[in-house]
Amino acid sequence: MSTAAAAPTRSPAVLYDIDWRTYSRLLHVLQSQGPYRLTYDRGTLEIMSPRFDHESPVSIIGSFIESLTDELNIPRRAGGAVTLRRKKKQRGLEADKCYWIASAPFLQGKTRLDLRIDPPPDLAIEVEVTARVINRMGIYAALGVPEVWVLNAGGLSFYALQGKTYQVRPNSLSFPALVPADLLPFLNQLGQTDDTTLMRSFRTWVRQQYMTRTPPTP
């Protein structure tokens, strides 16, 4: 199996000149009817439904993050594909998955998310298997998400927010000793073995190799 996601083959439905109120109504209606994902950027709205070749790597990468925080005893708050949006920014999306890690204590006791007062997730996952019209990274930047892991046809990359744009990083902000190449052998096993066996191997690697590392000097 390739270490990259498949090249995009299908585009989502795209609507133009959609105001915030209409976006909010469509968000409520469509998400109550099925697993639709809506991406909104200043009047342009993309609508798509998840595909297996998208959801499978999303799930595994999310499991990597959850295993790392478990084994390293790092607090986390999982957001899944929660809608992240700000009316003031006129932008919104559902991350493939997202996590509060450094900011997890700020969500203690929270049952609803309000990005006007709550911090954005520390880490989001983006798996790109569908051609997109909207620049989702631009939305993450506008919302202030510090780190995004992106898997696409070019491979796996870690991005960190610097100012108003993302820059590729050699290592993760949330897990400083982790580099993208660490995850590729496990991503290569996706579909070749069951997820339980894959994650058992990953947890063994974390305990035997990752936990003995010294993070690189910035």
CATH number for position 142? 3.90.1570
Q: Flag whether pLDDT at 6 surpasses 60.
A: no
Question: For the whole model, what pTM was predicted?
Answer: 0.91
Number of folded domains that form the chain:
1
DSSP secondary structure string for all residues of 53-64? HHHHHHHHHHHH
Q: Do residues 75 and 69 touch, judged by C-beta distance below 8 A? A: yes
Is residue 66 one of the residues assigned to a domain?
yes
Is residue 166 one of the residues assigned to a domain?
yes
Q: Encode pLDDT of 17-42 as tens digits.
A: 999 999 999 999 987 787 789 999 99
Q: Which residue has the higher pLDDT, 189 or 132?
A: 189
Strand extents, DSSP E, the chain: 13-15, 37-41, 44-48, 77-80, 83-86, 91-94, 97-100, 123-127, 147-152, 155-162, 165-169
Per-residue pLDDT at 51: 76
Q: Flag whether pLDDT at 105 surpasses 60.
A: yes
Is residue 2 one of the residues assigned to a domain?
no
Is residue 31 one of the residues assigned to a domain?
yes
Is residue 218 one of the residues assigned to a domain?
no
Note down the domain range covering 135. Answer: 13-212
Is residue 5 one of the residues assigned to a domain?
no
Query: Of 181, 178, 139, 176, which is closest to residue 156 (Cα–Cα)?
Result: 181
